Structure 1
Amino acid sequence: MSHITLIESYKSDLLQYSQDHLRYIASEGVWSIGQMYDHLILVAHEYLDNAETCARQEEEQHLGKSDFGERLYQMGGFPPIKIKLPDELNAPPNNWDSQEDLMNRLDQVMLRLRELESSIDAINPNYKVNHGGFGWLNAKEWYDLVGMHFRHHLRQKYELEQNLGFQA
């Protein structure tokens, strides 16, 4: 499934949520669906910013991925586990965006993906930016990480929908 198709499915699902659904927090330490969407959008922009930084590089970087980064890209995605970030990176996402706000923000992510899509393979693979957990990634790897991250959160989305009484 392409990144665009995946995000389109998130947009389609977004249409079924009321404002109360988007903001509902089932228990302490659990995000709302709106917070999950906010997180996905913010991280996608961060990854795309890094892909664009790679495109502007003028000096090659020959350092590679971390062991976890190597496994991540060999598997083609995150393992099916919950990943807890360090507290300093784990501030709760915004829980106030409306359905329309989230839809517009997803459109912006899709626009950026489309803009990069045609040129991503032409960017020198040795122009890299360091990821704190995965090591040195090139533009294509940052671009692919967007889709991996959206796929990783599908299970969380399903769990949050179950908390709201949605049927699978």
Structure 2
Amino acid sequence: MPKSFSTISFQKNNMLKKDPLLSFEKISKQWLFDLEHYTNEVLYQKPSETQWCLAELFDHIIRVARTYQLPNFNNCIQNNIRKGALKNGTAYLVFDLNIIPYKKIRMESFPTKVARDFNPLERDANELIEDFKLFINEVKRNATLLSNFDKKTKHFHPFFGMINAKEWFSLVEIHMRHHSKQKKRLESLKLS
């Protein structure tokens, strides 16, 4: 199996500050390559009954982008503001310094509907590959809107506070990096 993209806690990725689309393209290309080369055994192997397999992890990445990150990105683009607490210290670490602290996030910390939207399905491998390709194209299409956005138009995020369109867009790639350790761990499971 080819070496997969991985990250160390608090790793800094300077490319994100320059071009969030380039950062997304880099990680999504690697994830797609990996997805296309997993055996079914690797794709559906679970560490335990209560933990996700790789297929569920990929589905989760797609679901969060489609139901939460990209809609909120578009809310900023369309000037639909949802007010909340100011941008906090964690947001400055993530968006301004491009440091991702490794932290397990519980689904219960989100509103019920959001958590339900985030819960993954264990999907057929071919269907998942095709949907991941569609997801990549959706993100790239949305990136074209970044060329002319108002930095002052922000939308509330429960962990980061008020963030702008570029930060919402960047969350798609950041979310993938956040799950890179989990992905690596699932890839390395010994088949039982």
State TM-score, norm by structure 2: 0.74
The structure 2 residue matched to 1:70, chosen from 79, 82, 92, is: 92
Deviation of residue 10 (structure 1)? 0.6
The CA distance in 1 between the partners of 2:153 and 2:163, in whole Å, is 8
Letter of the structure 1 residue corresponding to residue 121 of structure 2: N
Aligned-residue CA RMSD (Å):
2.5
Paired position in structure 1 for 2:138: 112
Query: Contact (CA 8 Å) 1:51, 1:138: kept in 2 or not?
Result: yes
Query: Match of 1:5?
Result: 26
**Bigger mean CA offset, 110-119 vs 78-87:** 78-87
Q: Quote the Cα distance in structure 2 between the aligned partners of 1:94 and 1:160.
A: 16
Deviations for 1:101-135, whole angstroms, at most 9, x for unmatched residues?
22222222221222122331411112221111111
Distance in 2 (alpha carbons) for counterparts of 1:2 and 1:37: 18
CA shift, 1:164, in A, is 3.9
Residue equivalent to 2:45: 24
Matched, 1:151 2:173: no
Partners of 1:160 and 1:109 lie apart in 2 by 22
Q: Secondary structure at the residue paired with 1:129?
A: strand
* 2-structure distance, mates of 1:20, 1:37: 15
Alignment pair present for 1:163 and 2:189:
yes
The percentage of aligned residue pairs carrying the same residue is: 25
Alignment-derived partner of residue 42 in structure 1: 63
Secondary structure of the corresponding residue to residue 15 of structure 1: helix
In the alignment, the residues of structure 2 paired with residue 143 and residue 79 of structure 1 have an alpha-carbon distance, to the nearest angstrom, of 19
Show the counterpart of 1:55.
77
Q: Distance in 2 between matches of 1:59 and 1:142?
A: 13
What CA distance in whole angstroms lies between the structure 1 residues aligned with 2:81 and 2:120? 35
Count matched residues.
Answer: 164
**CA positional deviation for 1:85:** 3.3
Report the counterpart of residue 5 of structure 2 in structure 1: none
Find the counterpart in structure 2 of residue 122 from structure 1: 148
Indicate how the Cα distance of structure 1 residues 33 and 54 shifts in structure 2: closer, same or farther if over 3 A, else same: same
Counterparts of 2:185 and 2:81 in 1: how far apart (Å)? 44
1:79-94 equivalence runs, <5 A:
79-86=101-108, 88=112, 89=115, 92-94=119-121
2:165 match: 139
How high is the TM-score relative to the length of structure 1?
0.83
Contact in 1 for aligned 2:82/2:155 (Cα 8 Å): no
Contact 1:31 1:92 in 2 (8 A): no
Q: Which runs of 5+ in 2 are unaligned?
A: 1-21
Partner residue of 1:100? 126
Instruction: Return the alpha-carbon distance in structure 2 between the equivalents of residues 37 and 149 of structure 1.
Output: 11
- The CA deviation at 1:68 is 2.3
- Pair 1:110–1:92, CA change in 2 (3 A): closer
